[in-house]
């Protein structure tokens, strides 16, 4: 992520859902306060969804509650990537959603990347707010903070982060130059239907488990 310009220093975090062990939901998450260029496999921390340590000697990411909350709310999510990329953060600071201004946002994200209500970093309220903004989609903006994306793999979650950052840059630049021409709503709905067809398990509603 650092090489791609999505984070600076120790910002951002990554996790993957692990297969349940003895009925216990687990995730592997990057440690807190560790620069990416020095990370090794043994630095990754395994916790349950209540952030109780299972493996690893380092403290887990300060945003572990966010990751656990997403896994509880979105059974289809196998990986979560949280970034502090520039143009996504611009929209997050403005408190503005990223609309589906390019076809790929509707097809791969599921529609707008909505901005969450502000909540303190690392808090349970932040997890709830971001899960609400995420809904059935694969990306959300975190108010005054950054962006988050999910995927069926780490590669997909990272690709979604890159897509959202590129679309955010296009949107911010287009607005600075002139008036943005939206995709007609009927075509957005058709593209969202493609997303739902490709992601039949994407349900971020009350039927899923609650954020802790």
78: in domain:
yes
Give the structural domain span for 73.
63-198
β strands within the chain, DSSP E: 13-21, 24-29, 45-48, 53-55, 79-83, 139-142, 146-151
Residue 141 lies in a domain: yes
Question: Given this model, what pLDDT does residue 207 score?
Answer: 36
pLDDT value at position 23? 77
Residue 28 in any domain: the answer is: no
* Torsion angle of the four alpha carbons 8, 33, 72, 123, in this order, in degrees rounded to the nearest 10: -100
Q: Can you list the residues of the chain whose pLDDT is less than 70?
A: 2, 5, 10, 21, 204-212
Pull the structure tokens for residue 145: 């903070």
Contact 88, 164 (CB under 8 A): yes
Asked about 22 being catalytic, the answer comes back as no
Is residue 32 situated within a structural domain? no
Tokens 């921390």 sit on residue: 45
Q: What is the pLDDT of residue 12?
A: 85
What's the CATH code of the domain at 117?
Answer: 3.40.225.10
123-141 pLDDT per residue, tens: 999 999 999 999 999 999 9
Query: Which of 63, 96, 104, 124 is flagged as catalytic?
Result: 63
| In-domain check, residue 77 | yes
Residue 6, pLDDT score: 80
Distance between CA atoms of residues 82 and 10, nearest Å: 12
Query: Does residue 38 lie in a domain region?
Result: no
Residue 188 resides in a domain = yes
Number of structural domains the chain divides into: 1
Which pLDDT value is given to residue 35?
A: 76
Is residue 116 included in any domain, yes or no?
yes
């Amino acid at each position: 992520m650092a090489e791609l310009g999505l984070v600076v220093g120790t910002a951002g975090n990554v996790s993957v859902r692990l297969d349940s062990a003895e009925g216990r939901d687990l995730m592997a998450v990057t440690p807190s306060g560790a620069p990416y260029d020095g990370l090794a496999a043994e630095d990754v921390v395994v916790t349950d969804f209540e952030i109780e340590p299972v493996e690893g000697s380092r403290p887990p990411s300060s945003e572990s509650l966010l990751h656990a909350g997403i896994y509880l709310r979105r059974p289809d999510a196998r990986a979560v990537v949280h970034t502090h990329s520039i143009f996504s953060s611009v929209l997050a600071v403005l408190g503005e959603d990223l609309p589906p201004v390019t076809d790929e946002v509707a097809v791969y994200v599921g529609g707008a990347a909505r901005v969450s209500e502000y909540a303190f970093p690392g808090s349970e309220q932040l997890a709830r707010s971001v899960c609400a903004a995420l809904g059935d989609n694969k990306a959300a903006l975190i108010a005054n903070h950054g962006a988050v994306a999910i995927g069926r793999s780490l590669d997909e979650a990272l690709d979604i982060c890159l897509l959202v950052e590129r679309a955010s840059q296009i949107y911010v630049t287009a607005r600075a130059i002139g008036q943005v021409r939206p995709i007609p709503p009927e075509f957005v709905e058709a593209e969202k239907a493609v997303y739902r067809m490709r992601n039949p398990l994407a349900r971020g509603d009350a039927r899923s488990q609650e954020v802790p």
